[in-house]
Chain A
Amino acid sequence: MNKRALMLLLPALILSGIVFLLPFLWLFVTSFRVQGEGSLLMAEGFSAANYARLVSDSYFAEVFFRTMWMSAAATVISLVIALPMARQIAVSAGRAKGLLLALILVPLVSGALLPTLGMLHLLGPLGVINSILKDFGLTTKSVKFLGTVPGVIIGLVQAFLPLMLLPLVNALSRLPKDVEAAAETLGAPTHIVWRRVILPLVAPGIIAGSVLVFCASLTSFVTPQILGQGKIATFGTMAYQQASLVLDWPFASAVAVVMLAILALGLAVGSLALKLLARRPA
């Protein structure tokens, strides 16, 4: 790296160091501290007690696996919903494409809280979905979405669908139109065109979108906290409970460090998959 490039990168490096690296190091160090006897202040010395507690209690393993599979489910559902949507946006022309892209971006830039509160009214016992179900005589008692795993997964999909859509739209937009036409000319039915032509070519977009949705779901706090109504524990809600309610910051730090380690692992796997894809023969 030459001097000029380093100078250009310097502000970003300093900012990342101050707002991410230093707090992360502090978090890491705190995760090896423990609270003093009968005190909320941290005692002197270091210990791996918080990590031992995480490993030894089956409750944390259950929360870990629940968070993982809920994130995986949200990722798969997002992919299934996003593929046809992204395809439609990619083939749209001019203003329509711009408008559709803007609509995707709106929930992404409005933060997690507002859309989740909207979902609360959509999924609630007196919400829109339950009203429709009752109006059509499909149920007489409200269907429980809030405080259930399916309800939280619906919320995660709603919150992070744009993270899947954007890479897919990008990948599909770059797909040469005549490739599809050529496959159809050779007699391939639509599902074969998707399976053997479109999907392999947009695989980098699928991987990028999947990594983004999985990681965002894994670390999500607002959606499981609000839609889970305190009954669906995830890594995010557990860290909040330990930090803000129990006030056990060292243990909350250990939970956060484990969560960040899984996040780094997810990103590494995604990056490796993209590299392998790039190397495959055309």
Chain B
Amino acid sequence: MTNALVMPVLIPLLTAIVLTFFRNSFILQRTLSFIATASSAGIGVYLLLRIQSEGILRLDFGGWEPPYGILFVGDSFALLLVTAAATVTSIILLYAFSTIGEAFEKMYVYPFMLFLLAGVNGSFLTGDVFNLFVCFEVMLLASYALLILGGRKVQLVEAFTYITINVLASWFFLLAIAYLYGATGTLNMAQLAERVAENGQGPVLTVISLIFLLVFSLKAGLLLYFWLPGSYSAPPAAIAALFGALLTKVGIYALIRMFTLVFHHSPEITQSIIGIMAALTLIGGSIGALSSNDIRQIIAYNVVIAVGFILVGLAAGNELALQGSIYYVLHDMVAKAMLFLAGGLMISLTGKAKIGELSGLIRNYPALGWLFFIVMLSLTGIPPFSGFIGKVLLGEGLIEADTYVLLTLAFLSSLFVLYSLLRVFLNCFMGEAIIGSEEQVVLKKRTLLPIVMLGILTLAIGLGADAIAPFVNDAASTLVNPQTYIEAVLDKEALLKQ
């Protein structure tokens, strides 16, 4: 029992509510929102350290002990993601301070970003399937509002598609929850896992698990990603970065959690379907990233490739592969935010978004050029950046699981990531400079600072992989041995008495 577990949700939520009353005082809005996200990240680190010494933490709301109440469960996997999400959000906020503009600040952009973070953190921490649905909705409603802020035509129309597809997915989620409740009589994740393990995962439960797979794939962009490139390239860079870094990760988290904790008893059906979907996602994302000339579209398709790459680890399902996936999720949150911010900065500085229209930017903005180069190396998986360790572990895990087709596709996709981003780099940064030094827009230092910070972070994760290894190993071993999670939630009192 620790009340600190609710803080990563409560702090952003309450701050957002308070900030809606101070619409016109921008300084207060900026300060408070940054403090809220940074302190959530700090609490995430504190809780991670506590888990190392005390094991999985849980918080029963209102003192209702599981399986009766709603509860938050903090294991290493959830809290690693909470910490990464809050850190990345606070850096994106710094970028938003200098670029988003007064019109957005007046229309509550910071409160919405905080609501989004609260929903994301809630989804990571909850131990109840229905609560997961509610947290998803908190996050999605905030994302709907962020997507249409500004009200340009393209945003409105993309938002309609995005909202319709997500509402449809949400009702399917509820449908799956209804069936699950009918079949097992509980919605507590640990008790679900226990009951499914005791009674066996029959055909009915496997069908229900496939409905969950459908729902979370839609949210994560696993194979069902057709809504993603359009809606991620419509909003301003800061908001697109937030979407690219956080939204798909929640779907990925839910997939990994459900299919390692509850529905892991018939891997020959569920895991092979996940494997096929991940493979098709890798292929489709690579084709999309190569076929587009729009920088925003290329970046959005890179999100799709990463989703496929991470879930290849779930398809393999062994501890090494899951460790690789966890490293890669953390890396991808940082690197995707950096990529979206760098790409968005290129577009806002030049006013052009097609790669054919840009050239020689490295003469105008050398720092931005090299930062783009760094993020490209990081996403490709070149040491010493953060993508490397995830790719190595995932590769080892895939070899151990004898899934060579997935292995080939996963590593080929890295080449396509490199090629698609190298195309942007060579076309836009190299070559003849077309913008004269007099007419170029001045790049402020404080606009570039957040991207530098993300660059340092990706280097730090790469070099300090040893430092976060204990947390990642603990997270992966909990995923592989669901019994640890079940015991931590259901039998803590019994363990204390011993």
Q: Do A and B bind each other?
A: no
